[in-house]
Amino acid sequence: MSNRPANIGSTLLRPDALLKVKGEARFSTDFYEKGHVWAGVKRAGRPHAILKNIDYSEAIKLPGVIAVLTHKDVGGTNRQGVIKKDQPVLVEDRIRHCGDAVAIVLSDTRRSMEEAIRAIKLEVEPLPAVTDPRLSLKDDAALVHEKNEDRNILLGGAITVGKGRAAEAECDEIIEATFETQRQEHAYLETENGWARLDDQGRLEIVCSTQTPFRDRSEIAEALGLDLKNVRIIVPYVGGAFGGKDGITVQTLLALSAMHAAGRPVKMWWSREESFIASVKRHPSILRYRLGAKRDGTLHFLDVDITMDTGPYDHLGGVVLALAMEHSGGPYRIPNGVVDGRCVYTNNPISGAFRGFGVTQVSSGIERAMDLLAVKIGMDPLELRLKNALRAGDRNFVGKTLTTSTGITECLETLASHPLWTQRSFWKRNAGILKKRGVGISAIVHGSGYGPIVPDYANAKIELTGEGKFRVYCGVVDMGQGNSTANVQIVSSILNQPANDIELVLPDTERTLPSGSASASRCTYTFGNALISAAKIMKERLCRKAADLMMKKDPQEFSTTPITIRHLPTGSEIPLKVIANMMDSSERIVTAYFRAPVAEDLVTGDYNLRLHGMPHNLFSYAANLACVELDEITGKVTVENYATASDCGNVLNPQLYEQQIQGGAIQGLGLALYEDFVAVEGHVTTKDFSTYLTPTSMDAPDIESIAMGIYETTGPFGSKGIGEIATNGPLPAIANAIFDATGHMLEKSPITPESVLTALTEISKE
């Protein structure tokens, strides 16, 4: 941290880093107290069944066990969910996936809690499990929710663009391919956990690892039948989230536990295995693409069909589908076509929010389709992309006119002149014995914010303390991505105060103000804009106060300096501490509100699609390049080089920017090559980190992250979202590189050595 005021555009070291390297940063896992209670969950363990009886007679007798809770102990609706409240806190009569919570055990020790959970016996009547989303759509499929309007469809929709299917006949070339993407687990190192206590006034205080404290508070209150005022959520440091903590994990279960713990604090901390079974995943998808162009490479027609497996509950599945549909045409002008999508209930693990949020899936579709088309037309894949790249003022595939900065052309041009691209033929020729090399690219667009209807707002709050320092109340969670550092930077630079004098208050529903979720690449955009306003108001207020005190007419002649306010023409100054002491506590607090601008375009008449976010108004862009080497003996893929050129607006903090790009790319690399969360007939077979494989340091190449730095006029200091864009690039870039090396487009991910070996042996046969 710095004892100087921060500059926008230069690296300010993360203020949280000091505590984190010393092991002193307190996460919600780190709360213990003598005599606290352990709470644990009995999981259903079968994918679909009628729950007839929960026999906990043995469990309750075990020494140390305090209580066993079931749905009968839930006072409210017993339902949770973000858009559609279709998930029970504790199952009443119907089990819909193996990870369903059925009962809670409260115990004095973790050991006895675990023993009691094992001792609970479930009496069930098995039902046929729907585990293939294609079969789930059939008329004879068992229904996951009997009362759902549209059988097993959570959300479906279609959009016709231009002439629709009629344009197909006008194309000179058409390619068709069906891609399948897998289920991906977030695998944050800090599994879901929390710490809760009910005080003698009936107020619940919950410390937990979440992206959404304010929304959680409402969900808990409604599900358990509590008064909102009596629920407080505090979010300390969060050990990674990536979308997986966007919504309820332990919160409701923990709150219910605390209500039965006689005032003792309660700890709930899911094991890795429980986290894997119970938490949400990235939606597996089936993407049929038909992409048509004129002979000269002008894109003319796209027909996309998207099926997503959302598991048994909405979570954010409908929103994921809508974002996937919106981005299905990539960053290109495509005047005609159709996109048809559906999000389907199954008895598989729950799918929900995951960094990339549907865009990851369709990006892998459109970008592989582009390379297939390039080969068919006989055009360089980068040139084909440049030819069709969206520019400001164009309509994107779903018909939204682009009014914000649109830098995909600049990104692609940067790659076009990059040595990894210009020297690729030479590099490929130098593959070793029994190795083959290929180079592939991908072009990505990613919208940010909540779309046209759900308000994307933030409330910033800054306090001048009695010590004359500034305290920033962060309404949006920082789960590691560094937005709280950006907050310090914004306030420090506007108020001209040493960065290490700025105190941060992490999200707390009683101290900070509602500011939406830490998601959708919106944190710094939305909260940052609110914070800029707050900081400017604060500055103006202090200058006015100083002008009054010094009996000067023009507050404009004053400026804040580190620890003082100075009258610039005379150089005389008043310490901030003095000013602070002359102000009432209410005067020392400034709040400001910002609501993100939204698209006015009515791209669809389907209100439901609009409610679920279509279309967006602000987009980040990126072009990515992967150089891969394939081993002809084993089919092993090594990513030798990876470069990205991204348009995320003006970069506030280069180090944070690089962290986001590198980290997003490594998660995308995991999706491309390693990670596959497998459920066989609804039962998870990748139960732990030895079978669910995320990239290690030996698998992650160094990532080159070039920033275009294009100023976005609506953004805080010209910036746009960086959180998700990088995750979407690797799968299509790597698949295209393998296509380049082998002539075979792999349509399923993860790309296994086995599928590569098959592609390689097919070439040798040809």
Partner 1 sequence: MIVSFELNGKDVHVETSSDRRAVDLLREDLGLAGTKESCGNGDCGACSILVDDKARLSCLTLAAQLQGRKVVTIEGVCGEDGRLHPVQKAFIESGALQCGYCTPGMVIAVIDLLNSNPSPSRNEIREAISGNLCRCGAYQKILDAVEEVVKDSKKEAS
Partner 2 sequence: MSHALVPTKLEELWAYIAENPEAMLCAGGTDLLVKIRSRSVTPDCLICLERLDDLKGVRFEAGEIIIGALTTHRELLHDPIVQRDLSILASAVQNLGSPPIRNMGTLGGNIVTASPAGDTLAPLYILKARLKIRSKESSRSVPIESFILGPGKVDLRAGEILSEIAINQDSRFTVNHFEKVGRRNALACSVVSMAALMNIAEDNTISEIRLAWGSVGPTIMRFGDVERLLEGRQLTVRGIEDAIRKVQQSVSPIADTRASADYRRDVAGRLLLRLLSYASSR
Verify binding: residue 60, partner 2, rule CB under 8 A: no
Residue 461 pairs in a beta bridge with: 473, 591
How many Cα atoms sit within 13 Å of 42 on the Cβ side? 26
Nearer to partner 2, 530 or 673 (CB): 673
Nearer to partner 2, 118 or 229 (CB): 118
Q: Which two tokens stand for residue 723?
A: 């959180």
Verify binding: residue 332, partner 1, rule CB under 8 A: no
Nearer to partner 1, 304 or 444 (CB): 444
The rounded radius of gyration (Å) of the Cα atoms in the chain is 27
Residue 633 site contact among partner 2, partner 1, none (CB < 5 to 8 Å, cut-off depends on kind): partner 2
Asked if residues 543 and 560 have their Cβ atoms less than 8 Å apart, the reply is yes
Site track 618-657 with partner 2 (rule: CB under 8 A), x = hit: ---------------xxxx---------------------
Q: Which two tokens stand for residue 713?
A: 């006029």
Q: Which two tokens stand for residue 47?
A: 């994918």
Cβ burial, residue 399 (10 Å; 0-12/13-18/19+): middle
Smallest separation, CB 660 to partner 1 (Å): 8
- One residue of 2, 29, 310, 644 binding partner 1 per CB under 8 A: 29
Choices 52-60, 393-401, 489-497, 753-761; region in contact with partner 2 by CB under 8 A: 753-761
Site track 219-248 with partner 1 (rule: CB under 8 A), x = hit: ------------------xxxxxx------
Nearer to partner 1, 190 or 326 (CB): 190
Verify binding: residue 537, partner 2, rule CB under 8 A: no
Residue 763 site contact among partner 1, partner 2, none (CB < 5 to 8 Å, cut-off depends on kind): none
Q: Which two tokens stand for residue 577?
A: 């501490």
Nearer to partner 2, 504 or 757 (CB): 757
In Å, the largest CA–CA distance within the chain is 90
Closest C-alpha to 518, from 484, 479, 486, 488: 479
Give the number of residues in contact with partner 1, rule: CB under 8 A: 57
How many Cα atoms sit within 13 Å of 180 on the Cβ side? 8
Residues 246-305 that bind partner 1 (CB under 8 A): 271-272
Residue 11 site contact among partner 1, partner 2, none (CB < 5 to 8 Å, cut-off depends on kind): partner 1
Verify binding: residue 3, partner 1, rule CB under 8 A: no
Choices 185-193, 204-212, 242-250, 691-699; region in contact with partner 2 by CB under 8 A: 691-699
Smallest separation, CB 434 to partner 1 (Å): 22
| Distance from C-alpha of 706 to C-alpha of 658, rounded to nearest angstrom | 9
Q: Is the peptide bond before 750 cis (omega within 30 degrees of 0)?
A: yes
Structure letter (DSSP) for residue 126: E
Residue 229 site contact among partner 1, partner 2, none (CB < 5 to 8 Å, cut-off depends on kind): none
Residues 462-501 that bind partner 1 (CB under 8 A): 479-482
Residues 658-677 that bind partner 2 (CB under 8 A): 674, 676
Choices 411-419, 495-503, 632-640, 665-673; region in contact with partner 1 by CB under 8 A: 665-673
Nearer to partner 2, 210 or 694 (CB): 694
Smallest separation, CB 246 to partner 1 (Å): 15
| Distance from C-alpha of 505 to C-alpha of 747, rounded to nearest angstrom | 47
Asked if residues 283 and 317 have their Cβ atoms less than 8 Å apart, the reply is yes
Residue 262 site contact among partner 2, partner 1, none (CB < 5 to 8 Å, cut-off depends on kind): none
DSSP states along 284-338: PEEEEEEEEE-TTS-EEEEEEEEEEEEETS-TTHHHHHHHHHHTTTTTB---EEE
* 3-class secondary structure, 590: strand
Verify binding: residue 693, partner 2, rule CB under 8 A: yes
Nearer to partner 2, 551 or 698 (CB): 698
Residue 664 site contact among partner 2, partner 1, none (CB < 5 to 8 Å, cut-off depends on kind): partner 1
- One residue of 307, 336, 667, 749 binding partner 1 per CB under 8 A: 667
Choices 175-183, 219-227, 545-553, 661-669; region in contact with partner 1 by CB under 8 A: 661-669
Verify binding: residue 695, partner 2, rule CB under 8 A: yes
- One residue of 5, 6, 8, 16 binding partner 1 per CB under 8 A: 16
Verify binding: residue 691, partner 2, rule CB under 8 A: yes
List CB contacts of 728: < 8 A, sequence separation 6 or more. Answer: 356, 359, 360, 363, 364, 442, 444, 446, 622, 668
Residue 79 pairs in a beta bridge with: 88
> Rounded to whole angstroms, what are the CA distances from 617 to 89, 323, 597, 655?
35, 12, 7, 27
Nearer to partner 2, 153 or 757 (CB): 757
Smallest separation, CB 651 to partner 2 (Å): 32
Residue 242 site contact among partner 2, partner 1, none (CB < 5 to 8 Å, cut-off depends on kind): partner 1
Verify binding: residue 326, partner 1, rule CB under 8 A: no
| Distance from C-alpha of 622 to C-alpha of 411, rounded to nearest angstrom | 6
Verify binding: residue 757, partner 2, rule CB under 8 A: yes
Pairing status of strand 231-234 against strand 204-208: parallel
Nearer to partner 2, 543 or 637 (CB): 637
CA 366 from centre of chain = 21
Nearer to partner 2, 433 or 551 (CB): 433
Verify binding: residue 375, partner 1, rule CB under 8 A: no
Site track 668-697 with partner 1 (rule: CB under 8 A), x = hit: --------------------xxx---xxxx
Verify binding: residue 32, partner 1, rule CB under 8 A: yes
Verify binding: residue 666, partner 1, rule CB under 8 A: yes
Verify binding: residue 606, partner 2, rule CB under 8 A: no
> Rounded to whole angstroms, what are the CA distances from 673 to 138, 218, 593?
32, 39, 43
Residue the block writes with tokens 């003006």? 650
| Distance from C-alpha of 747 to C-alpha of 727, rounded to nearest angstrom | 18
Closest C-alpha to 238, from 275, 208, 273: 208
Verify binding: residue 698, partner 2, rule CB under 8 A: yes
Q: Which two tokens stand for residue 305?
A: 């069909």
Closest C-alpha to 79, from 65, 68, 94: 94
Verify binding: residue 434, partner 1, rule CB under 8 A: no
What is the per-residue burial (b if ≥16 Cβ within 10 Å, else e) of 198-234?
beeeeebbbbbbbbbbbbbbebbbbbbebeeebbbbb
> Rounded to whole angstroms, what are the CA distances from 477 to 42, 231, 425, 480, 506?
29, 18, 46, 9, 7
Residue 433 site contact among partner 1, partner 2, none (CB < 5 to 8 Å, cut-off depends on kind): partner 2
- One residue of 3, 53, 690, 713 binding partner 2 per CB under 8 A: 690
Nearer to partner 2, 367 or 629 (CB): 629
CA 460 from centre of chain = 22
Residues that bind partner 1 (CB under 8 A): 11, 13-14, 16-27, 29-30, 32, 186-191, 237-242, 271-272, 479-482, 655-656, 658-659, 662-667, 688-690, 694-698, 700, 702-703
Interface contacts to partner 2, rule CB under 8 A: 433-434, 633-636, 674, 676, 678, 685-686, 689-691, 693, 695-699, 752-754, 757
